Amino acid sequence: MKCPCTSGKDFAGCCEPILTKKQKAKTAEQLMRSRYTAYATGNVDWIVESQSADGRAFVDRKATEEWSKRAQWHRMEILETKDGGEGDSEGFVDFKAYYTIGDEDVTHHEIASFRKEDGEWFFVDGLEVKPRPYKRLDKKVGPNEPCPCGSGKKHKKCCGKVA
């Protein structure tokens, strides 16, 4: 079975050894991938345990478990990593997680920070990246201006008419 983290590797050779604690994550990215896989497979224990000790008290286990189980997890995309290698003590992973909850398709974009403590990587915090607001490039048509469709009528009496 392919790993849910979308690394392209088999689960047994990717996140499973980390989730089962047979192996520690060597990099911040590996820990991020294992955390996504934990959400996708409902392994809430790993989500809590891989949180830094100072942030663990703030994890709402029940809400995390509900979110994990209610969502249909599609894929994760790593956009960029900064530090977080085997020789580093901190790192950042910019990623997007794609899932569906209810009838809504969601793209969760976050920059996650990680810290290595006593040789083990932990998730510290995440900063959600909001999409940029839409900016209209064309001029807004006023209600009393000619309709842009070319009918010759005022916009409010043509295409701008509210039913």
Determine, yes or no, domain membership for 5.
no
Determine, yes or no, domain membership for 4.
no
Tell me the pLDDT band of 119, cut-offs 50, 70 and 90: very high
Question: What is the rounded (10 degree) CA torsion for 56, 61, 64, 66?
Answer: 180
Residues 67 and 101 in one domain: yes
Determine, yes or no, domain membership for 145.
yes
What is the number of structural domains in the chain?
2
Residues 52 and 87 in one domain: yes
Residues 63 and 110 in one domain: yes
Range of the domain at 144: 133-163
For residues 118-140, average pLDDT: 88
d(CA 140, CA 138): 6
Confidence at residue 163, expressed as pLDDT on a 0 to 100 scale: 57
SS3 of residue 58 by DSSP: coil
pLDDT in tens, 29-69: 999 999 999 999 999 999 999 999 999 999 999 999 999 99
Residues 6+ apart with CB under 8 A from 130: 109
Residues 32 and 99 in one domain: yes
pLDDT in tens, 64-105: 999 999 999 999 999 999 999 999 999 999 999 999 999 999
pLDDT at 136 over 90: no
SS3 of residue 28 by DSSP: helix
Give the global pTM. Answer: 0.80
Q: Residue-wise over 82-96: b if at least 16 C-beta within 10 A, else e?
A: eebeeeeeebbbbbe
Confidence at residue 127, expressed as pLDDT on a 0 to 100 scale: 96
User: Lowest-confidence range among 27-36, 96-105, 130-139, 148-157?
Assistant: 130-139
Residues 102 and 145 in one domain: no
Residues 142 and 114 in one domain: no
Confidence at residue 135, expressed as pLDDT on a 0 to 100 scale: 75
Residues 39 and 118 in one domain: yes
Residues 6+ apart with CB under 8 A from 124: 52, 55, 112, 113, 114, 115
